[in-house]
Structure 1
Amino acid sequence: MSYVSYADVVDGLHERFLTIAGFPAYNEEGVLINLLRYEPAVIHHTPTIYTLLDGFERNASGQLTAMHYRILHRLVIQWQDNEQAELALMPFVHRVPAAVDADQTLGGRITMGLARISSGQSGFVIISNTKYRCLDFFSTVPTKAPFQSGI
């Protein structure tokens, strides 16, 4: 029997982000180009969301192991004009958390506990010598499995 891994959790969160109105973007070959599992060296399209592990806690009690992931989802918006960047950012303040709230078990991957966007922080980030406006969302995701299950 397999148990939910960190990669499974990211898959579930990314499935939720694909439901955000106006977000997913695909190239001519039909490949998704603005939802990434790594910090990119260059941004080809905005908005882009990339996901990074921020940290985790692992606790064992009796025959159960619990993992509590804290995951960063950085939304990057083109920044050339302050007003336009802020206007582009505003809808995502609610859309990203709402996408996760719509299925907090991430398609049934999580059987004990619920995924949620727990906080956010705005700022700026420089990628490939280009400054972008960003909104960092932090999700918290608990998973549980039998002790010595590999998680």
Structure 2
Amino acid sequence: MTDGAGSPAGKHLSRPRIRGVLTMFYYENLAEATRWYTDVMGFEHVLRLDGAEIFRVEDNAHLALVAEGKGSQPVIPGRGKGVLLSIQTDDLEAWHERLFALGVEGTGKGAHVGAGGTTIEFKVYDPGGYTIEFFEWIE
């Protein structure tokens, strides 16, 4: 998009402030997903709305679990939803040990090199089939 003079539109505008990021996942069984993110992931539950549960992932990064029919998007059954929650950590091994001990699907595959050789990572699946990726940058 250009401004008519061939310059990118908004080129001279400052970027407005962003206060945080909220990712939204949609579930047929909101109660099951809520228990999983509380008990398995250990995320802090910060807000309950009609048909949604909000968790703090870290500082200004949040995850909303939304009940079927309550949000703007439909529930997509199974896996391969085209979205994942990617969590950067400095304690990849501890996360893997925790989730493996809790029997979370995906941990049995172990960590591997990913992202074109720039990360060590592993992926698990939540009760709704969403992929949760944990990674550390390779330095």
Q: TM-score, with normalisation over the residues of structure 2?
A: 0.33
Higher strand share: 1
Which structure has the bigger radius of gyration? Answer: 2
Taking CA–CA contacts closer than 8 Å with sequence separation of 6 or more, which of the two structures ends up with the larger relative contact order? 1
